[in-house]
Amino acid sequence: MTLVASAMYQNQFTGRTAVVTGAGRGIGLAIAQSFAESGASVLLIDRDEVVEEAAETLRAAGFDVRGLRADVTDEEAMKSAFRWVDELWGRLDVLVNNAGIITISNLDDLSLAEFQRVLNVNTTAMFLCCREAAPLLRKSPSGVILNAASGQARQGFIYTPHYAASKFGVVGLSQSLAKELAADNIRVNSYCPGIVKTDMWQYNDREWGKRLGDYAPGELIQEWIDDIPLKRAAEASDVANLLLFLASDAASYITGQAINIDGGMFMS
């Protein structure tokens, strides 16, 4: 198993507990693995059964992790998930709301059901998890919530009005909760990835490529990468390492922020 976490965070989260949603693969799995490597007990949540295999692999490597196949939009399932965290470990220190979906569609073809589904997964489910996690996070001496936004929380892009709306909503949700939960010493930040080497970006390349020109697979995404100041896409581990910092005591005075991690695509 390839190490994800930076060595500087070794044992930094020993004795702490984290929950990561959308953790079956990609960025979410890298985040969950990085916290486990840094000493945390971790619950991985994903709607896909692959989460159980991912958790078993990490457990076989000696990490204290569990996997839960559940839909983050299901209110009762999320209530049950955080009750389980309390039963397992009796505490929660870090919640990473990483679960998210994207679809790409012309406005005329975009149904209300599809619009609402993207907002339900990307924004409403995040609210549910924050609400259910808050009582546990209040027990922590330094609770942290980290919410997945996007470059599209900085600037909406063509053919994804529903996705852009959901990610702008994440930033607003995070700022509001940062103000409310500060009294409980709970910090809330969001993170805004750009292009990351994941299956989602293969989908993005294909679907935007169909609508923006006669692009062969990989051509559009390479064109965009060429415009990034650092001239590369992110690895999932790049995002994971940012979240380790934001959850650490070194970031104890950072809350209510939306942090870009995009190689310089957006500079504000």
pLDDT in tens, 210-220: 999 989 999 99
pTM of the model: 0.95
User: For the residues of the chain, what is the DSSP string, one character each?
Assistant: ----S-GGGTTTTTT-EEEEES-SSHHHHHHHHHHHHTT-EEEEEESSTHHHHHHHHHHHTT--EEEEE--TT-HHHHHHHHHHHHHHHS---EEEE---------GGG--HHHHHHHHIIIIIHHHHHHHHHHHHHTTSTTEEEEEE--GGGTS--TT-HHHHHHHHHHHHHHHHHHHHHGGGTEEEEEEEE-SBSSHHHHHHHHHHHHHHSSPPTTHHHHHHHHTSTT-SPBPHHHHHHHHHHHHSGGGTT--S-EEEESTTS---
153 and 215 inside one domain: no
205 and 95 in a common domain? no
Q: How many domains does the chain have?
A: 2
Q: Which domain holds residue 62?
A: 13-194+236-254
Same domain, 241 and 211: no
Mean pLDDT, rounded, of the chain: 96
Domain annotation covers residue 265: no
Query: Does residue 92 fall inside a structural domain?
Result: yes
User: How confident is the model at residue 268, as a pLDDT?
Assistant: 78
Q: Please report which confidence band the pLDDT of residue 3 belongs to, taking 50, 70 and 90 as the band edges.
A: low
* pLDDT at residue number 9: 78
CA-to-CA separations, 21 to 25, 32, 36, 43, 214, in angstroms, rounded: 10, 9, 14, 8, 36
Query: Which whole number is the average pLDDT over 179-191?
Result: 98
Q: Are residues 147 and 72 in the same domain?
A: yes
Cβ–Cβ under 8 Å, residues 137 and 184: yes
Catalytic residues: 163
Query: What is the arithmetic mean of pLDDT over 114-126?
Result: 98
The Cα-based distances of 96 to 70, 140, 239 in angstroms read 15, 15, 12
Q: Residue 242 in contact with residue 194, Cβ under 8 Å? A: no
Instruction: Please tell me whether residues 131 and 216 are part of one structural domain.
Output: no
Looking at the structure, do residues 158 and 44 belong to the same domain, yes or no? yes
Same-domain status, 174 and 56: yes
Is residue 90 domain-shared with residue 207, that is, in the same domain? Answer: no
Considering the domain architecture, whether residues 245 and 215 belong to the same structural domain is answered as no
The mean pLDDT of 79-98, rounded to a whole number, is: 98
Model confidence at 238: pLDDT above 80? yes
Percent residues over pLDDT 90 in the chain: 94
Considering the domain architecture, whether residues 244 and 203 belong to the same structural domain is answered as no
Q: Residues 2-14: what's their mean pLDDT?
A: 76
